[in-house]
Amino acid sequence: MNDTPGWASPGSAPSDGQEAGVPRPSEPIDGSGPAENWSSMQPPAGQWSPPSTSGNGPGAPPPAPGWGGRPQTVGWGQPPAAAKPGVIPLRPLGVGEILDGAVSTMRAHWRTVLGITLTVSVIAQVAIILVQRYLLPEPASVDPNATGTEALRQAADSMQSSLIYSAPSTLVTLIATLFTTSMLTVVISRSVVGRSVTLSEAWAEARPRLFQLLGLTLVLTLMTAAIMAVGVLPGVLIGSTAGVALALLGFLAATAVIVWLMVRFCLASPALMLERQSITVSMRRSAKLVRGAWWRTFGILLLTWLLTLIVTLIIAIPFGLIAIIMDGNGMGAFLTGQPTDFGWPFLIISGIGEVIISTITYPLSAGVMALLYVDRRIRREALDLELARAAGLPGYDTRS
């Protein structure tokens, strides 16, 4: 049996035009293409346990002890527990189980996870520090006594300076996120079926998908920028008080549309990595997997973001205060409200804090996203059967 789970979807995925509960046609198993990892005898979508047959007729698979897809009454009217070969039980997951699975992956495969996140975080933070220290221009000075046109001009210059200052760090963070997400998704996909993966194996499997993952990120980024421009630009062009109100309304409307689309396409990244699909196909897969569960998906992502924010604040605040105190040059400017010119002590100490934050939050975010993808496919496509076969559970290898 192949050690890798059968992530690749068949030519016509169960969610492509079929809702849960509608029988799926059998897929040919010819040993070529992505369909080779799928069984031609999968049950209808939403049926999580192997199809039962009366008696011991020919072809009836033996029951799997401890397996709980769609529970059947056993003994005292209690359903059997779901099989758990890895970090999650092979059945539809609750919110707590998704979060617990992400944390369990960090604990069970801490060497690989730490090796990925710590290496990428250190390299990214060193690059950000060097760019901030040597390449970025001095921040624009602001006169607190300026009024009228001069105050507006200084505010515009300050905003432009802030955008320029944050652009390199945003770009470096984006690239670091691509590397960590791609490799951590591989680690999590193996941990679901109880298999370990080394750092070199994760890199070898993730490397061919990096450029497509970058393309997906750029597509989503450009989509966000275009929607925001359409919402805000008309009000900005008008320029009057009515234009400001129109820009505000446009901003709120654009934000709502962006949030809806980002949730709709949030599973495109794991679909691209695990199913080896193209960018457009991965976006369609995500939209169909999220269909009917938008609010649940939004709630899980919001909860994950809040947990990430809490961890960030717990670590960033003390490190930031220590960095300001240790940097004598920037302390005076910070207290007087002048443009800060922090030196090496501030950059190094705050950089250490950022590395710790990234090392903790990267696996959590990637784990939730990958396990949410697994949960949606279990609910819609009975992926638990393929995972059970990949894990070597008895009674689920239907191939001769």
Q: What is the pLDDT of residues 264-298, one digit of tens each?
A: 999 999 999 999 889 999 999 999 999 999 999 99
Burial code of 72-109, b = ≥16 C-beta within 10 A, e = fewer? eeeeeeeebebbebbbbbbbbbeeebbbbbbebbbebb
Q: Give 128's contacts (C-beta < 8 A, 6+ positions apart).
A: 168, 169, 172, 173, 351, 354
Give me the mean pLDDT over the 335-345 stretch: 62
The pLDDT value given to residue 10: 38
Give the residue from 149, 147, 190, 198 showing the smallest Cα distance to 4.
190
Residue 375: predicted pLDDT: 95
Tell me 74's DSSP state. B
Q: In this structure, what token pair is assigned to residue 327?
A: 């940097």
Quick one: angle between helices 95-108 and 344-381, nearest 10? 120
pLDDT score, position 50? 40
Is a pLDDT exceeding 90 seen at residue 168? no
Taking 60 as the threshold, does the pLDDT of residue 332 lie above it? Answer: no
What pLDDT does 393 receive?
83
According to the model, what pLDDT value does residue 120 have?
A: 92
pLDDT over 70 (residue 184): yes
As a whole-number percent, the residues of the chain with pLDDT over 90 amount to 42
**What are the start-end ranges of the H helices in 193-293?**
199-206, 210-238, 241-264, 268-275, 279-290
How much of the chain, in percent, has pLDDT values that exceed 70? Answer: 67
Cβ atoms 398, 10 nearer than 8 A: no
Between residues 174 and 268, which one has the greater pLDDT? 268
- The residue with greater pLDDT, 35 or 214, is 214
What is the pLDDT, as a whole number, of residue 117? 92
Sign of the CA dihedral 130, 136, 137, 142? negative
What is the structure's pLDDT at 34? 37
Residue 161 has a pLDDT of 65
Q: How confident is the model at residue 140 (pLDDT cuts 50, 70, 90)?
A: low
What is the reported pLDDT for 48? Answer: 39
CA 190 – CA 196 distance, rounded (Å)? 6
Confidence bin at 368 (pLDDT 50/70/90): very high
Given this model, what pLDDT does residue 25 score? 36
Assess whether pLDDT exceeds 80 at residue 228. Answer: yes
* Res 328 pLDDT > 70: no
Q: What is the mean pLDDT of residues 113-137?
A: 85
Better-predicted residue by pLDDT, 191 or 236: 191
Q: How far apart are the first and last CA of the chain?
A: 11
Q: What is the mean pLDDT of the chain?
A: 76
pLDDT of residue 237: 80
In the predicted model, is pLDDT for residue 143 greater than 60? no
pLDDT number for residue 242: 77
Q: String of b and e for 359-389 (b: at least 16 CB within 10 Å)?
A: bbbbbbbbbbbbbbbbbbbbbbbbbbbbbbb
Predicted confidence (pLDDT) at residue 400 exceeds the cutoff of 80: no
> pTM for the whole thing?
0.75
Q: Considering only 4-13, 79-88, 247-256, 306-315, which range has the smallest mean pLDDT? A: 4-13
Query: What tens digit of pLDDT does each residue of 369-395 get?
Result: 999 999 999 999 988 888 888 888 887
pLDDT digits (tens, 9 = 90+) for 25-49: 333 333 333 333 333 333 343 333 3
Q: List the single range of 30-34, 62-66, 100-104 with lowest mean pLDDT.
A: 30-34
Residue 319 Cα to chain centre, angstroms: 26
pLDDT band at 65 (very low <50, low <70, confident <90, very high): very low
Between CA 389 and CA 194 the distance in angstroms is: 12
Residue of higher predicted confidence among 155 and 129: 129
Confidence (pLDDT) at 4: 42
